[in-house]
A = this chain, B = another copy of it.
């Protein structure tokens, strides 16, 4: 018996998110099916991050246990043959038998992508949020700075969340603009439900000068979901990387 880790990239457009569920197709269900087929035994994966419906990933992480003899590092190639085009393994390797991607200390990097131009662009529509009003990136950066560090992020927690504590730590937020694409990169140790999308929605309102950057401090202190901006659409969000510490 060995424990194998997978780095999984996917286009979330056609899935009801990561986590297996009764109705609707999920990334985890596809992975379990393909792994069980490949290894000829029932396989159940444990994921690092339960991304929402429509959210993409370059490197979500999952582990599973298997008695199969196939070397762990070969599984990526073999599994990709059995996975659909919108889910592809980027890495596979053996890990310690007690390694669990959700309970190990990690740093996750999410990227929220905004297409900021006059007209929508069909070839970018699935992986960015089209926003045609002007955005002042400098003001977004100023506002984002208030979020870095360890805070109670209750204002940035979706209503469906069932968590004991809403305290989390953001280790960095970087906002870049290249041509007509604005990206918000958020790094942190664990995130609340919808947290990055609510941060993005709030930063967009500030970038559009509906509020001054200083308003972000107020929103954070309010510890009230009503104080923050809207939840930005799922298609703009990509889980880029998970680093285990």
Contact = CB atoms under 8 A, between A and B. Distances in A.
A86 interface: yes
Interface stretch (A119-127, A162-170, A196-204, A211-219): A119-127
A116 to B, nearest CB: 15
A10 B90 contact: no
Interface residues of A, number: 23
Contacts of A119: 9, 76, 80, 88-90
A238 interface: yes
Contact of A123 (B11, B76, B80, B122): B11
Interface in A101-133: 118-123, 125-127
Contact of A88 (B76, B80, B122): B122
A95 B68 CA distance: 68
Contacts of A80: 119-120
A58 interface: yes
Contacts of A238: 123
A13 to B, nearest CB: 9
A127 B10 CA distance: 15
Contact of A9 (B58, B90, B123): B123
A62 interface: no
